[in-house]
Structure 1
């Protein structure tokens, strides 16, 4: 069975391209946190400040998961506003540029895993 993904609002886009289009719309509307849930019970969480994004992949609710990283980055960035209004700041090494995040998300949705060339940290 191919893994399918549903957004936290119940939307079930037909393709990775449709998910990316919805993500772009949500970001443009100021919805900076998105959670996707797969038919296998996995979660893909995306939190952005419109320039960088934290991309996390979790096997289940208790899983510490794994996330995209920028190994050479220094400093930190704020403006990661969660759905509950909390405004977070993350080290830049634990986030990626938004364009890279969208590439990674597209690959996870299509292939079930991050692209082989994406820097990735396993937090388990």
Structure 2
């Protein structure tokens, strides 16, 4: 069975392209933290500051997960606003440019795996 993905409590499965369109809309509306739920129980999170994004994949609610990285990036970026209003700053190496985040989400939803050319770190 192929894994399907939905946004939050919504039960309507989305395609990879639809997911990116919804992410773009949500970020444009100022809703910068978004969670998708896979039919296998996995969770995909995208937290953006409109220029970069923290993209995390968890095997379940209790899993520390893994996240996309920008190997060799220096510095840090702020403005990552969570749903509860908390505003975080992350090292740029732990985030990716927004267009790269969209590419990662499309690939994850389409294939179930991160792109092989993306830096990826297991958290824990």
TM-score class, shorter-chain normalisation, is over 0.9
TM-score when normalising by structure 1: 0.96
Structure 2 length-normalised TM: 0.96
Distance in 2 of aligned mates of 1:62 and 1:6? 19
Mapped to 2, the partners of 1:14 and 1:63 lie a distance apart of 23
2:100 aligned residue: 100
| Residue-pair matches, total | 124
Instruction: Measure, in 1, the Cα distance between the counterparts of 2:106 and 2:12.
Output: 15
For 1:26 and 1:65, the matched residues in 2 are separated by 23
Q: Aligned-pair distance for 1:11?
A: 5.9
Runs of 4+ in 1 over 3 A off after TM superposition: none
Structure 2's unaligned 5+ residue stretches are: none
Q: Please say if 1:62 is aligned against 2:72.
A: no
What does 1:68-83 correspond to in 2, within 5 Å? Answer: 68-83=68-83
2:11 is equivalent to residue 7 of structure 1: no
CA distance in 1, matches of 2:57, 2:36: 10
CA distance in 1: counterparts of 2:62 and 2:9, whole angstroms: 22
Residue in 2 that maps onto 1:90: 90
